[in-house]
Amino acid sequence: MELDWSGRRLNSLAAKMKKGNRQAAAAIYDELASKVFGFCFSRVGKRALAEDLTQDIFLKLLDKVQTFDEGKGNFAVWFWRLARNTVIDYYREKKSLSFSDFGEEIESVAYAEPTASLDAKLAYEGLNNFLNSLSGEEKQLFELRYIAELSYKEIAGITEKSEVLLRVNMSRLKKKLKDNLKK
Amino acid sequence: MALFFRDKLPVGIKKLLLPRKEFSANLRSVFLAGFERSSAAPLGSHWSLVGRILVASVVLFAATSGVAVYADSQNVSPQHPLYLMKRYSEFMQSFAASPEDQPALHLKFAARRLSEIESLEGEGEKEEPSIATAVKVTVTATPTAATGAISTAKPVNARVGKLYNDLNDEIRTSINNVGAEKQSSKRANICKSLDKFMNYGAPPVKKVVKEHPKMKNQFESQCAGYLESD
C-alpha cells in the first residue's frame, strides 16, 4: 500500500519508537491520543470508560509495537486495528458479565459537557441519534473516517474491504446523514 | 453542517469528543514512563557495547604500553618510528613516580635529550669536523647512568630546536623537584649530579643554561648547602 505523507511520517515515528526513541513515542501519542479518545467515546458513550479504553490502547501499543513491521505495513492501519480490537474485546467482556452489571445507562455525551455551546450539544445529540440508527459497519466507517480521520486506504486496510466499496458506503452514509439533518 | 460532507466533523462536535486536558497529560506521562521501562531491555545491549569498548580499551592500552616499554628499554633515537612511544613511556614513568623520584628521573630524561640532540646534530654535520668528548653523568639517585657526546653543532632543524626546549624542560623539572627529597644524603647526591650535568661542558646544556640564567639561580637556591662536601 502506497502511503501518503501522514502515513509515512507515522511509519517513520513507529520505526524510531521501536528503536527506543522517546521523542518518537511522544509524537505518536500526541498525534493519536485525541483521536483514540474520540473514537472510544463515540463507541462507548461514557467519558470515564473512554478514558480507560484509551489508556488500554496505548499500553497495548507499548507491549506490541515491536511486532509492527514497518517494511510491510502501514502503522496507522496496524494501530487502528489494535484500537478497534480493544473496543471489541471490551464489548465481548461486557457480554460475559451478569445482567446486573449493566445498570448504568450511557450518559448523554453532549449534556455532560457544560462548556460546549448549545448548538454543538444539539448537533451532537442529533448526530448521536443518527449514529445509533446505523448498522455496526456503517457506524465503524463513520468513526474511522470522521473521528480517527483516516484515509479510505487506511480504513480499507483495517476493515479488509475494498476502497471503492468504502467510498460507495460512505456516499450512502452521507446521504442518510443529510436526510436526517433535514428532518 | 457543510463540513460533514467534506469528511470533517464540525468544530463544535469535534470539541465534544476531545479528552480532558488533565487526562491527556496524565496518560502521556504514564505512556512515556512505560515506554522508558520497556526500552530498558535494549539497554543491556548498550551495556554490553560499553563492556566491549572497555575490553578493547584495556587491550589497546596493554599493547601500547608493551611497545612503549620496549621503545624505552632500547632508548630509540628521534629518527626511530617508535620514538613517540619512548616519549609516551617517559610520560607514564613521570606520572607514576613519587615527588622524591622526580629529580633523578627528569635528569635521566635530560641526559637522553642531550644524547638525542647530539646524534641529530651529528647527522646534520657529518661533513664538518666535530669535537666528540665522552661525558659521563652519573645519577646516583637512580641506577641509570646517562652518557652524552659533545658536539659543537647548532640546531639544524626544527626537531633539534624542539629537543633543546625539551632539554630545558627536563632540567628545570629536575631542579624544581629537588626540594621534595627530604633526606640530606639523597638530596646532596641529586644536587651533585645536576651540578655535573649543567657544568660539565656539553655545549647543548651550556647553551640552554646560558639562555636561561634564572635556571642557574634556581639550582643554587635549591642546592645551597648540599654541594660543599664534594
Inter-residue contact B150 to B207 (CB < 8 Å): no
Nearest Cα neighbor of B123 from B57, B90, B77 is: B77
**Cα separation, A143 vs A150, whole angstroms:** 9
Nearest Cα neighbor of B94 from B84, B81, B104, B79 is: B104
| B5, B17, B22: best to mutate for the A interface, most A CBs within 10 A | B17
Are residues B113 and B90 located together in one domain of the fold?
no
Say what the pLDDT of residue B148 is: 39
Are residues B109 and B201 located together in one domain of the fold?
yes
**Could you confirm whether domain A5-182 is CATH 1.10.1130.10?**
no
Are residues B71 and B111 located together in one domain of the fold?
no
Residues of chain B falling short of pLDDT 70: 1-6, 40-48, 123-156, 229-230
ipTM value: 0.79
Say what the pLDDT of residue B42 is: 52
User: Phi then psi for B155, rounded to 5 degrees?
Assistant: -55, 130
Is A15 near chain B, with CB under 8 Å?
no
**Cα separation, B19 vs B88, whole angstroms:** 66
Residues 6+ apart with CB under 8 A from A77: A1, A154, A157, A158
Are residues B91 and B131 located together in one domain of the fold?
no
Nearest Cα neighbor of B200 from B145, B152, B155, B134 is: B134
Nearest Cα neighbor of B8 from A38, A73, A49, A72 is: A38
Evaluate if pTM is beyond 0.90.
no
Surface of B (14-73) touching A: CB under 8 A = 14-20, 23-24, 27-28, 30-32, 34-36, 38-39, 42
Say what the pLDDT of residue B213 is: 82
**Cα separation, A84 vs A86, whole angstroms:** 5
Are residues B190 and B151 located together in one domain of the fold?
yes
Query: What is the nearest CA distance from A38 to chain B, expressed in angstroms?
Result: 5
Are residues B192 and B145 located together in one domain of the fold?
yes
| A16, A30, A37, A53: best to mutate for the B interface, most B CBs within 10 A | A37
Domain housing B58: 20-96
Say what the pLDDT of residue B142 is: 44
Residues of chain A falling short of pLDDT 70: 1-4, 95-121, 183
Are residues B164 and B91 located together in one domain of the fold?
no
**Residue A176: strand, helix, or coil:** helix
Say how many domains are in chain B.
2
Residue B194 lies in a domain: yes
Question: A6-14, long-range: CB within 8 Å, 24+ apart, which pairs?
Answer: A6/A76, A7/A74, A7/A75, A7/A76, A7/A151, A7/A154, A10/A74, A10/A75, A10/A76, A10/A79, A11/A70, A11/A74, A11/A75, A12/A70, A13/A75, A14/A65, A14/A68, A14/A70, A14/A75
The residue to which cell 506490541 is assigned = A64
User: Phi then psi for B146, rounded to 5 degrees?
Assistant: -105, 140
Are residues B88 and B167 located together in one domain of the fold?
no
Decide if B31 and A29 are in contact by the 8 Å CB cutoff. yes
**What dihedral angle (degrees, nearest 10) is formed by the CA atoms of B154, B159, B164, B169?**
180
**Residue B129: strand, helix, or coil:** coil
Our CA angle for A151, A182, A163, nearest 5°, is 20
Write out the three cell numbers for B62: 596493554
Domain boundaries defined on chain A: 5-182
Residue B46 lies in a domain: yes
Say what the pLDDT of residue B146 is: 41
Are residues B91 and B120 located together in one domain of the fold?
no
Nearest Cα neighbor of B63 from B75, B71, B74, B73 is: B71
Say what the pLDDT of residue B13 is: 77
Are residues B32 and B90 located together in one domain of the fold?
yes
Our CA angle for B4, B6, B11, nearest 5°, is 50
